[in-house]
Chains A and B, each alone.
Chain A
Amino acid sequence: MTMEGAARIATLRPAVIEVAGLEKIFVTVSNERIHALHDISLAVGEREFVTIVGPSGCGKSTLLKLIAGLLPASAGRIAVGGKIVAAPRTDIGIVFQNPILLPWRTVIENVLLPAEVQGRPMAAARARARELLAMVGLAEFESKYPMELSGGMQQRAAISRALLCDPEILLMDEPFGALDAMTREQMNLDLQRIWREAGKTVVLITHSIPEAVFLGDRVIVMSPRPGRIVRVLDVPIPRPRSIDVMGEPLFGRLTGDIRKLLYGRDRDADTAGLGAAGGIA
């Protein structure tokens, strides 16, 4: 399975993220070894939108943290922009499942936080922050506090923050997982637009199969214990995609294929729960 996945990794565009033979083993307090990731190899091309889908405990969040340099790898190699990742990289933007806005800062102060921390020129950063907030539709909310914003608006502010220092790469860890279904669809459309306008490389993790297919140029399907890549699927649906593509036969076939990969053939797709595979996310 892994070989099949690896064979399809090659992209035509130059790779900005390269992962080869990655292993991650956690040692718990009780000295148990948890094999979180096994033999992960993948390459993400410039301006590509790659989604990673899998049940909880398949190590997809761990993979993202490794790429971001927030966790050390146990074995294998990760390179971003041709440079080996060893420590947190400031040239990568990250969006987490929760917006994690600091409640005592206004929206724009939150967006400016990375520039402030990295000692960048603030006047230019402020202008850029205004641009980004306008792009995500929060121009009028820059001096509001996070608690005055809805969940979807907070997450859009978090996306602006991730884009502030103009990173080539945007890593997103289930960014819309906490939103209701309708807001989530709107956020998917917005994200597609932002991605096309900003010209970034995006790796997005999700446990929603339709979201993975809707957003991704390619979908990486992972399975747990140990976390590994089972299949990489191309999504040849033209852009820009509207919500209507979800009704097309190709969309249905792709989501069906992924479901089969995740649930196995012996289980009814309607009743199978992804939660069966517990453990670390």
Chain B
Amino acid sequence: MTTIDLPPKEAAAPPGRLTLVMRTRPEIVLAPLLLAVVLLAWEYGVIWLDVPTYILPPPSRIAFAMWQGLDAGLLDRGGYWLHAGVTVAEVLLGFFIGSGVGLVLGTIISQFRILEATLRVYLVAIQSLPKVALAPIVVMWFGFGLTSKVVIICLLTFFPLLITSMAGFKAVDAERLELMRAFGARPWQIFWKVRFPSALPYIFAGLDMAAVLAVVGAVVGEFVGAQRGLGTLILSMNAQMDTAGTFSVFVILAIVGIVLYQGMRIIERRYLFWSGEHMRAIGS
């Protein structure tokens, strides 16, 4: 903390890049280092303790399985690209349709007090139901193709958006509304200039939830009944005791989830820069 600790001036070379990074943002170095240590411990721990590969494969085997899967052709049923593509398509379609419909309905409902008061009890009750349990019925109704998975994801992503947008519109600061009234603003002006932006932090919180649930919904839907997708790949690999393959598919799913979530974060930073509370809540 004091200048006495500094090396003498003539000996002071410009601080190296690494030193500088360590001083300002040590996590840039330490976080990958931690990952490397964990992977190494896993790799050699499994070998030393002689754990069977079908119980817990070492990371190198998982990496090899991943390479094999990715090395296949785009439409190869044994490779990952086809299945990952199907799952990503389901996730994106389900996420946009489900959360879009939830947002629109939540917005409409919250503009009419009677509608909101009447429906609130039921909506909150449905929100707390384990909707994935409906997956077998949805598959029975919509078949083994893309549609049933999209419907399941819609079911999962619809309610977070419905509930958060309703909460968001309800929480709009009454003073802002009075101010707009004092300016002689029309209802639609009040909506677009104050109500909607004020509700955005809540809506984005709902989208964060929906992004995570969308991936869960796709995998569950594929477990229940599908011909393609990363979920079916996990099931077939598991049946063949190909644990390394299962782990590698899990990594692919994790990457899909992280990309989706980070995409949301980038959009949020752009549109919610003003909402200090929100940014603190999502830890940025």
Contacts and interface: CB of A to CB of B under 8 A. Distances in A.
A246 B159 CA distance: 61
Contacts of A103: 274-275
B139 to A, nearest CB: 43
Given A102-B197, A147-B276, A70 B180 contact: no
Interface stretch (A17-25, A77-85, A93-101, A131-139): A93-101
B49 to A, nearest CB: 55
Contact of B194 (A96, A98, A102): A102
Contact of A102 (B176, B184, B189, B276): B176
Contacts of B183: 88, 90, 113-114, 117-118
Contacts of A104: 197, 273-274
A113 B178 CA distance: 14
A239 to B, nearest CB: 29
B50 interface: no
A275 to B, nearest CB: 22
Contacts, number: 48
Interface in B161-184: 173, 175-176, 178-184
A129 interface: no
B181 A117 contact: no
Contacts of A118: 183-184
Judged by DSSP, the binding face of B is helix
A70 B184 CA distance: 10
Given A70-B178, A104-B197, A117 B184 contact: yes
A87 B184 CA distance: 9
A261 B184 CA distance: 38
Interface string A93-133: 01010101011100000000110111000000000000000
A92 B183 CA distance: 9
Interface of B: 173, 175-176, 178-185, 189, 193-194, 197, 273-276
Interface of A: 68, 70, 87-90, 92, 94, 96, 98, 100, 102-104, 113-114, 116-118, 145, 147
Given A89-B184, A94-B182, A104-B197, 20 more contacts: A68-B182, A87-B184, A88-B182, A88-B183, A88-B184, A90-B184, A96-B175, A96-B178, A100-B173, A100-B179, A103-B274, A103-B275, A104-B274, A114-B183, A117-B180, A118-B183, A118-B184, A145-B273, A145-B274, A147-B276
